[in-house]
Structure formats: structure tokens, C-alpha cells
Amino acid sequence: MLYSTQSAKQTMALGKKLSSQLKGGEVFGLSGELGAGKTTLVKGIALGLGVKKPITSPTFVLMKVYRATNRPIKKLVHIDCYRLKGSEELAAIGAPEYFGQNDTVVLIEWPAKVKKILPKKILNVKLKLGKKNNQRNINFNNR
Ligand SMILES: Nc1ncnc2c1ncn2[C@@H]1O[C@H](COP(=O)(O)OP(=O)(O)OP(=O)(O)O)[C@@H](O)[C@H]1O
Ligand SMILES: [Mg+2]
């Protein structure tokens, strides 16, 4: 499914809408260049899942675990692999323990860097800058 948004606000709204379909156990890979809107989409999903703390980019800490309040989803895990050299670094901090947990949704920016340790059933979202200034094309291919 391909969406086109015209502002960060619209991308957040899309994430919020998407969150209402989540059951828990999903692992998302969010791909796209710097500034494509990956973190913005995560913010919208977090809003929809009732995360109260503000989502900040986990670039320097690699992984952040937030408490979600929309049952059955209790945790939102946000991972940013931009600075990683490989899968081992992510495995070392215990990230794979969150994959596929029924009460957890995992969102991974720059998933290509950690391909080796990702589950097979990852949901891929590809974000691209559009032709217009604030346009972003967001493709959910669910494979
Ligand atoms: N339609 C849009 N959707 C999302 N963000 C938009 C849109 N239009 C403009 N923006 C701006 O683009 C930037 C997107 O930043 P964001 O941190 O979400 O990107 P990112 O893909 O996570 O980048 P990085 O790889 O650096 O983590 C924000 O400054 C946001 O305000
Ligand atoms: Mg980001």
C-alpha cells in the first residue's frame, strides 16, 4: 500500500492510524534516507499506542523501550541502526529478545544493517522524499 503525505503531521497521523491495526508481536523495518520521516512515523505509532513519553531519536543510544498503554501492547521498542557496523552490536544489547513478543511492537530504522538477525516475518516500510518539499511517499509492502 502506497501513501503520500504532505507534512510531518500527516505522517504522524498515518502512523497513528496504522497503530490501531497492530496486535502485538510485529517487527517493522523502516527504510529510507536521512530525514525521510522514519522517526516521525514512529512518533505517530507511539501516539496511537498510548506511549506517554516523547519519542526522541535513538541514534546515540541505539535502542529505547517505551511503555505503551493500549492493551494488549505494553511495549514499543524503537531501534536506530544508522551508526551500527553490524548485527552483532544489536544482538549484544539484547534487542532480539523483543522480536515477536506478543505484548511488544518493534520498529527498526536502517534495518538493512542488521539483516542477519531480523526475524523472517518483518514488515517493511519504505519512505522516500517526494517531489514537493514536504512530500513523503510511504510504501507498506508487508513482506
Ligand atoms: N511529509 C512528511 N513526513 C515526515 N516528515 C516530514 C514531512 N515533511 C517534512 N518532514 C520533516 O522531515 C524530517 C523527518 O525527520 P525524521 O527524524 O522523521 O526522519 P528519519 O527518517 O527518522 O531520519 P534519520 O535517518 O536521520 O533518523 C522532520 O524534520 C520533519 O518535520
Ligand atoms: Mg530517525
Quick one: fold of 2-140? Rossmann fold (3.40.50)
Torsion of CA 3, 109, 29, 77, to 10 degrees: -110
Q: Whose CA is nearest to atom 26 of ligand 1?
A: 34
Grid cell of 66 as nine digits? 517505551
C-alpha of residue 39 to centroid of ligand 1, in Å: 7
Starting from the CA of residue 32, give the closest ligand.
1
Give the pTM: 0.96
Each domain of the chain, given as residue ranges in start order, spans 2-140
Ligand approaching nearest to the C-alpha of 135? 1
Q: At what angle do helices 38-48 and 8-19 cross, to 10 degrees?
A: 50
Q: In a mutational test of the pocket of ligand 1, which residue from 9, 28, 39, 59 has the highest number of ligand atoms less than 8 Å from its CB?
A: 39
Strands of the sheet containing 27-31, edge to edge, are: 2-5, 136-140, 123-129, 27-31, 104-109, 75-80, 63-67
User: Per residue of the chain (143 residues), what is the pLDDT tens digit?
Assistant: 999 999 999 999 999 999 999 999 999 999 999 999 999 999 999 999 999 999 998 767 899 999 999 889 999 999 999 999 899 999 999 999 999 999 999 999 999 999 999 999 899 999 999 999 999 999 998 55
**Separation of CA 78 and ligand 1 centre (Å):** 15
